[in-house]
Amino acid sequence: MVRVEFLGPIDKKPMEMEINSLSELKEQLKKDEDLEKWLESCAIAVNDKIVTSIETDLKDGDKVLILPPVCGG
């Protein structure tokens, strides 16, 4: 199982999913209208490291963080 957590203003509880890649995760999350609007603007971290490739493989025990854009001062 892969744990998926949503940070900041994304109002979703963590999920446990049977997935093998970030592209699979994206397809699953696109089914949720509330999440779909966030997908294009969020950064993604796997096991606390930012990743840039949607083709990143995932394995059992990985933790994926969905990080919405933020601004601050």
Contact 44, 65 (CB under 8 A): yes
Region of 48 on the Ramachandran plot (φ > 0 left; ψ -120 to 50 alpha; else beta): left
- Tell me what percent of the residues of the chain surpass a pLDDT of 90: 74
The pLDDT score that the predictor gives to residue 48 is: 95
List the domain boundaries for the chain: 2-67
The CATH number for 2-67, chosen from 3.10.20.30, 3.60.15.10, 3.30.70.890, 3.10.580.10, is 3.10.20.30
Structure confidence by residue, pLDDT tens digits, 29-62: 999 988 888 888 899 999 999 999 999 999 999 9
